[in-house]
Protein backbone atom coordinates (compact mmCIF):
# COMPACT_ATOMS: atom_id res chain seq x y z
CA UNK A 1 0.00 0.00 0.00
CA UNK A 2 1.61 3.24 -1.18
CA UNK A 3 0.13 6.63 -0.36
CA UNK A 4 1.04 9.33 -2.87
CA UNK A 5 1.66 6.81 -5.63
CA UNK A 6 0.83 8.82 -8.75
CA UNK A 7 4.18 10.54 -9.33
CA UNK A 8 7.68 11.20 -8.07
CA UNK A 9 9.04 9.09 -5.26
CA UNK A 10 5.75 7.33 -4.50
CA UNK A 11 5.41 6.07 -8.07
CA UNK A 12 9.05 4.95 -8.13
CA UNK A 13 8.50 3.02 -4.91
CA UNK A 14 5.43 1.31 -6.37
CA UNK A 15 7.36 0.27 -9.49
CA UNK A 16 10.29 -1.01 -7.43
CA UNK A 17 8.15 -3.07 -5.05
CA UNK A 18 6.33 -4.71 -7.96
CA UNK A 19 9.70 -5.89 -9.30
CA UNK A 20 11.29 -6.85 -5.98
CA UNK A 21 10.08 -8.52 -3.86
CA UNK A 22 7.23 -8.78 -6.36
CA UNK A 23 4.29 -7.24 -4.48
CA UNK A 24 0.90 -6.26 -5.81
CA UNK A 25 0.51 -2.49 -5.50
CA UNK A 26 -2.42 -0.61 -4.03
CA UNK A 27 -2.42 3.08 -3.42
CA UNK A 28 -4.14 6.41 -3.13
CA UNK A 29 -3.45 9.78 -4.71
CA UNK A 30 -5.25 13.10 -5.05
CA UNK A 31 -5.58 12.88 -8.84
CA UNK A 32 -3.17 15.70 -9.69
CA UNK A 33 -1.04 13.49 -11.93
CA UNK A 34 -3.42 11.15 -13.81
CA UNK A 35 -0.88 10.31 -16.52
CA UNK A 36 1.68 9.27 -13.92
CA UNK A 37 -0.90 7.14 -12.14
CA UNK A 38 -1.91 5.44 -15.40
CA UNK A 39 1.74 4.77 -16.25
CA UNK A 40 2.33 3.18 -12.84
CA UNK A 41 -0.69 0.90 -13.27
CA UNK A 42 0.59 -0.19 -16.70
CA UNK A 43 4.13 -0.85 -15.42
CA UNK A 44 3.02 -2.81 -12.37
CA UNK A 45 0.67 -4.93 -14.44
CA UNK A 46 3.42 -5.37 -17.01
CA UNK A 47 5.51 -6.90 -14.21
CA UNK A 48 2.76 -9.46 -13.66
CA UNK A 49 1.34 -7.85 -10.51
CA UNK A 50 -2.05 -6.35 -9.72
CA UNK A 51 -2.38 -2.59 -9.26
CA UNK A 52 -5.30 -0.57 -7.96
CA UNK A 53 -5.09 3.16 -7.24
CA UNK A 54 -7.87 5.11 -5.55
CA UNK A 55 -8.28 8.83 -6.23
CA UNK A 56 -8.78 10.36 -2.80
CA UNK A 57 -7.24 12.67 -0.24
CA UNK A 58 -5.67 10.03 2.00
CA UNK A 59 -4.90 12.41 4.88
CA UNK A 60 -8.19 12.52 6.88
CA UNK A 61 -8.77 9.73 9.39
CA UNK A 62 -12.18 8.95 7.94
CA UNK A 63 -10.69 8.50 4.47
CA UNK A 64 -8.06 6.13 5.80
CA UNK A 65 -10.80 4.09 7.42
CA UNK A 66 -12.95 4.09 4.27
CA UNK A 67 -10.11 3.09 1.94
CA UNK A 68 -8.95 0.34 4.30
CA UNK A 69 -12.51 -0.98 4.54
CA UNK A 70 -12.71 -1.11 0.74
CA UNK A 71 -9.34 -2.88 0.53
CA UNK A 72 -10.42 -5.43 3.15
CA UNK A 73 -13.59 -6.15 1.16
CA UNK A 74 -11.62 -6.51 -2.08
CA UNK A 75 -8.59 -8.47 -0.86
CA UNK A 76 -9.50 -9.92 2.51
CA UNK A 77 -7.57 -9.75 5.80
CA UNK A 78 -3.78 -9.71 5.93
CA UNK A 79 -3.47 -8.17 2.46
CA UNK A 80 -0.84 -5.55 3.34
CA UNK A 81 2.75 -6.73 3.73
CA UNK A 82 4.32 -3.30 3.26
CA UNK A 83 2.83 0.16 3.86
CA UNK A 84 4.62 3.25 2.52
CA UNK A 85 3.59 6.78 3.52
CA UNK A 86 4.66 9.17 0.78
CA UNK A 87 2.09 11.97 0.96
CA UNK A 88 3.31 15.38 -0.21
CA UNK A 89 0.71 18.08 0.47
CA UNK A 90 2.43 20.94 2.25
CA UNK A 91 2.17 24.69 2.55
CA UNK A 92 5.29 26.72 1.85
CA UNK A 93 5.41 29.90 3.89
CA UNK A 94 7.66 31.86 6.19
CA UNK A 95 6.56 31.94 9.81
CA UNK A 96 6.43 35.55 10.90
CA UNK A 97 7.67 37.98 8.23
CA UNK A 98 6.34 38.95 4.81
CA UNK A 99 3.14 36.88 4.47
CA UNK A 100 3.00 34.98 7.76
CA UNK A 101 1.84 31.38 7.85
CA UNK A 102 -1.88 30.82 8.52
CA UNK A 103 -3.12 28.23 11.03
CA UNK A 104 -5.01 26.43 8.23
CA UNK A 105 -1.72 25.94 6.37
CA UNK A 106 -0.14 24.43 9.48
CA UNK A 107 -3.06 22.09 10.07
CA UNK A 108 -3.14 20.93 6.44
CA UNK A 109 0.58 20.20 6.38
CA UNK A 110 0.59 18.32 9.68
CA UNK A 111 -2.57 16.37 8.79
CA UNK A 112 -1.09 15.24 5.47
CA UNK A 113 2.57 14.70 6.32
CA UNK A 114 2.45 13.53 9.95
CA UNK A 115 -0.92 12.74 11.55
CA UNK A 116 -2.13 10.64 8.62
CA UNK A 117 0.59 8.06 9.32
CA UNK A 118 -1.08 7.42 12.66
CA UNK A 119 -4.60 7.34 11.19
CA UNK A 120 -3.52 4.81 8.55
CA UNK A 121 -1.77 2.62 11.11
CA UNK A 122 -4.94 2.59 13.20
CA UNK A 123 -7.11 1.78 10.17
CA UNK A 124 -4.82 -1.01 8.95
CA UNK A 125 -4.99 -2.62 12.38
CA UNK A 126 -8.72 -2.02 12.82
CA UNK A 127 -9.52 -3.76 9.54
CA UNK A 128 -6.98 -6.55 10.17
CA UNK A 129 -5.16 -5.74 6.95
CA UNK A 130 -1.58 -6.19 8.16
CA UNK A 131 0.00 -9.49 7.19
CA UNK A 132 2.20 -11.28 9.75
CA UNK A 133 5.53 -9.44 9.92
CA UNK A 134 4.17 -6.46 7.97
CA UNK A 135 6.30 -3.34 7.73
CA UNK A 136 5.30 0.31 7.82
CA UNK A 137 7.62 2.93 6.34
CA UNK A 138 7.40 6.72 6.58
CA UNK A 139 9.34 8.73 4.01
CA UNK A 140 11.09 11.83 5.33
CA UNK A 141 13.74 14.33 4.25
CA UNK A 142 16.65 16.29 5.74
CA UNK A 143 14.55 19.47 6.14
CA UNK A 144 14.01 18.42 9.76
CA UNK A 145 17.56 19.59 10.51
CA UNK A 146 17.86 22.34 7.90
CA UNK A 147 17.04 26.01 7.60
CA UNK A 148 15.57 26.68 4.17
CA UNK A 149 13.23 29.55 3.44
CA UNK A 150 9.53 28.70 3.63
CA UNK A 151 9.94 25.12 4.83
CA UNK A 152 9.58 25.52 8.61
CA UNK A 153 6.12 23.94 8.75
CA UNK A 154 7.25 21.04 6.53
CA UNK A 155 10.28 20.47 8.77
CA UNK A 156 8.12 20.57 11.90
CA UNK A 157 5.61 18.09 10.47
CA UNK A 158 8.41 15.71 9.48
CA UNK A 159 9.86 16.00 12.98
CA UNK A 160 6.46 14.94 14.35
CA UNK A 161 6.43 12.05 11.89
CA UNK A 162 9.75 10.79 13.27
CA UNK A 163 8.31 10.87 16.81
CA UNK A 164 5.23 8.94 15.70
CA UNK A 165 7.40 6.28 14.06
CA UNK A 166 9.47 5.73 17.20
CA UNK A 167 6.39 5.31 19.37
CA UNK A 168 4.54 3.09 16.89
CA UNK A 169 7.65 0.92 16.53
CA UNK A 170 7.61 0.36 20.30
CA UNK A 171 3.87 -0.38 20.32
CA UNK A 172 3.76 -2.66 17.27
CA UNK A 173 7.12 -4.39 17.64
CA UNK A 174 5.83 -7.01 20.12
CA UNK A 175 3.07 -7.84 17.60
CA UNK A 176 5.70 -8.73 15.01
CA UNK A 177 5.39 -5.56 12.91
CA UNK A 178 8.21 -3.15 12.00
CA UNK A 179 7.90 0.64 11.73
CA UNK A 180 10.71 2.78 10.32
CA UNK A 181 11.54 6.11 8.71
CA UNK A 182 13.56 6.46 5.52
CA UNK A 183 15.17 9.90 5.29
CA UNK A 184 16.42 10.48 1.78
CA UNK A 185 18.16 13.47 0.27
CA UNK A 186 16.72 15.99 -2.15
CA UNK A 187 15.14 14.44 -5.25
CA UNK A 188 14.02 16.77 -8.04
CA UNK A 189 10.30 15.97 -8.18
CA UNK A 190 7.20 18.09 -8.82
CA UNK A 191 6.65 18.30 -5.07
CA UNK A 192 10.14 19.69 -4.48
CA UNK A 193 9.81 22.18 -7.34
CA UNK A 194 6.59 23.41 -5.75
CA UNK A 195 8.29 23.73 -2.37
CA UNK A 196 11.34 25.57 -3.66
CA UNK A 197 9.72 27.41 -6.55
CA UNK A 198 10.38 26.66 -10.22
CA UNK A 199 12.62 29.70 -10.66
CA UNK A 200 14.84 28.73 -7.72
CA UNK A 201 14.93 24.98 -8.50
CA UNK A 202 18.13 25.07 -10.61
CA UNK A 203 19.95 27.11 -7.97
CA UNK A 204 18.69 24.72 -5.27
CA UNK A 205 19.92 21.73 -7.25
CA UNK A 206 23.39 23.25 -7.60
CA UNK A 207 23.50 24.13 -3.89
CA UNK A 208 22.50 20.66 -2.72
CA UNK A 209 24.89 19.04 -5.18
CA UNK A 210 27.73 21.01 -3.56
CA UNK A 211 26.57 19.82 -0.12
CA UNK A 212 26.55 16.12 -1.08
CA UNK A 213 29.93 14.36 -1.34
CA UNK A 214 28.75 12.60 -4.52
CA UNK A 215 28.10 16.08 -5.98
CA UNK A 216 24.64 15.16 -7.24
CA UNK A 217 21.06 14.66 -6.10
CA UNK A 218 19.55 11.23 -5.54
CA UNK A 219 17.14 9.83 -8.11
CA UNK A 220 13.65 8.48 -7.48
CA UNK A 221 14.83 5.13 -8.83
CA UNK A 222 17.53 4.96 -6.15
CA UNK A 223 14.94 5.66 -3.47
CA UNK A 224 12.74 2.94 -4.95
CA UNK A 225 15.57 0.43 -4.81
CA UNK A 226 16.39 1.10 -1.16
CA UNK A 227 12.70 0.74 -0.28
CA UNK A 228 12.76 -2.63 -2.07
CA UNK A 229 15.64 -3.64 0.19
CA UNK A 230 13.65 -2.58 3.26
CA UNK A 231 10.87 -4.90 2.07
CA UNK A 232 13.27 -7.85 1.89
CA UNK A 233 14.00 -10.49 4.51
CA UNK A 234 17.44 -8.94 5.04
CA UNK A 235 15.83 -5.84 6.59
CA UNK A 236 13.67 -7.70 9.11
CA UNK A 237 15.43 -6.36 12.22
CA UNK A 238 15.09 -2.67 11.37
CA UNK A 239 12.57 -1.18 13.81
CA UNK A 240 12.11 2.37 15.09
CA UNK A 241 15.03 3.32 12.86
CA UNK A 242 15.72 6.56 11.04
CA UNK A 243 17.49 5.18 7.99
CA UNK A 244 19.79 7.78 6.42
CA UNK A 245 19.81 7.74 2.63
CA UNK A 246 20.95 11.34 2.11
CA UNK A 247 24.31 10.57 0.54
CA UNK A 248 26.03 12.48 3.34
CA UNK A 249 24.14 15.72 2.71
CA UNK A 250 25.38 18.47 5.03
CA UNK A 251 23.23 21.47 4.28
CA UNK A 252 21.79 22.75 7.55
CA UNK A 253 22.45 26.32 6.40
CA UNK A 254 21.14 25.70 2.90
CA UNK A 255 19.11 28.90 2.95
CA UNK A 256 22.31 30.98 2.80
CA UNK A 257 23.55 28.97 -0.16
CA UNK A 258 20.32 29.11 -2.16
CA UNK A 259 19.50 32.72 -1.26
CA UNK A 260 22.93 34.35 -0.79
CA UNK A 261 21.61 37.87 -1.41
CA UNK A 262 19.99 37.84 2.04
CA UNK A 263 22.99 36.45 3.93
- Residues 152-208 pLDDT 10s: 999 999 999 999 999 999 999 999 999 999 999 877 666 666 666 667 677 777 877
Percent with pLDDT over 90 in the chain: 65
CATH code, domain with 26 = 3.40.50.720
Instruction: State mean pLDDT over 220-247.
Output: 95
* DSSP string over 108-162: HHHIIIIIHHHHHHHHHHHTT-EEEEEEEEEEE-GGGG---TT-HHHHHHHHHHH
Question: How distant is the alpha carbon of residue 185 from its chain centre?
Answer: 12
Residue 168 lies in a domain: yes
- Is residue 254 very low, low, confident or very high in pLDDT (cuts 50, 70, 90)? low
Report the predicted TM-score, pTM, of the whole model to 2 decimal places: 0.90
Instruction: State mean pLDDT over 54-60.
Output: 94
Residue 29 lies in a domain: yes
Range(s) of the domain holding residue 72: 2-198+218-252
User: Does residue 232 register a pLDDT over 60?
Assistant: yes
Give CA angle at 198 (115, 58), nearest 5°: 25
Residue 262 lies in a domain: no
Q: What is residue 261's predicted lDDT score, i.e. its pLDDT?
A: 55
Count up the domains in the chain and report the number. Answer: 1
Residue 235 lies in a domain: yes
Amino acid sequence: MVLGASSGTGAAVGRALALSPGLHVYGAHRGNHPQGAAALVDEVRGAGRRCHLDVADAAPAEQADMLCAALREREGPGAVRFFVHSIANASVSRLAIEREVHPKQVHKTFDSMAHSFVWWTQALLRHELLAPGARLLALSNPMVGQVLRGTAVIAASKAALHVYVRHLAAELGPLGYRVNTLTFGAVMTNALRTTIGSDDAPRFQRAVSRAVPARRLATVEEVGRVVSFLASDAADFFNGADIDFTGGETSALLDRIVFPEDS
